[in-house]
Structures are given as C-alpha cells and as structure tokens.
Homo-oligomer: A and B are copies of this chain.
C-alpha cells in the first residue's frame, strides 16, 4: 500500500510527512473549537475528569498529573471551586495538604459534556464511511499509545528546537 516507488526514497517520504504535519495544524484548530463549547479549558476539563474518575486528590498531585505548576493548579482549583464544580477539603493527619473533590454539579457537568460531545461526534461521523471510521478508531488507539512514549522523553532527542521548555 505504499504509494512510493523504490527510487524516490526519502524525499517522497518527507513530503508525505510534511503534508501530514500541515494537516495536523488544521486538525488541531478544529479540535480546539470542538472541545471548548462550555467554557472549560482543556486542563480544567481534564482535571474534572480525573477527579470524577479517580476521586479526591491533593493539589500537587493534580498539578503533576496535568503538567502544570502548583500555583497554576491552585488557581484552577480556585476557579473550579468558585464555579461550584469542585471543592477543597482538609486532610486529617496532615494539615498542610488540601484535597480536591468533584462536586455533584461537577459530576453532572462531566456527564453532560461527555454526552454532548458524543452527540456531536456521532453527527460528524454520520458522513464517514465504516472503513474511514475504523481507520479513525485505529489511529486514535495508536496515537493514544504514542502519547505515553512521547511523555517519556527519550533524550535521544534530535533537539531540533531551542528547548526553552521548563521540563
């Protein structure tokens, strides 16, 4: 199924990749819009999902899990709390830690959000053939798998970029 002849080699492959990358850009912007219908940021939604799925957790753990700094998570929790979606709880035994729990309203929002997005997706998928749908499901699984390996930096890194990330 490779559409390349043996001779054109790396150039053709690179061209393919470049087109793929461009596609990624457009896809990204689509996804960003699809996932911001209710005023929840990606991190906010992800945090809520996490709380809903795994129960109360401390701020610093959430920060690590979501890949933001602790102050960032503190502020996010403050916003969630203000909106009634989560609440701070003390922790007996260690009075420094703050445990964050999802509220009933938060739980409902998560459910509503999931349903709304499922509906949206199913509408979108109406215009997609079974074959294409299978391809999508497969690639999502693959990309999801790659997400983990990407999280663990190989340090084999070609270091193509300035690398100003805080790590």
Contact = CB atoms under 8 A, between A and B. Distances in A.
**Interface size class for chain A?**
35 or more
A114 B125 CA distance: 30
B122 A17 contact: yes
Interface string A102-133: 00000000001111111111111101101110
Given A114-B21, A117-B21, A165 B37 contact: yes
B27 A42 contact: no
Interface of A: 1-2, 13-14, 16-18, 20-35, 37-39, 42-43, 45-46, 49, 66-67, 112-125, 127-128, 130-132, 134-144, 146-147, 149-151, 154, 156, 158, 160-165
State how many copies of this chain the complex holds.
Answer: 2
A18 B147 CA distance: 19
A132 to B, nearest CB: 5
Nearest to A17: B118
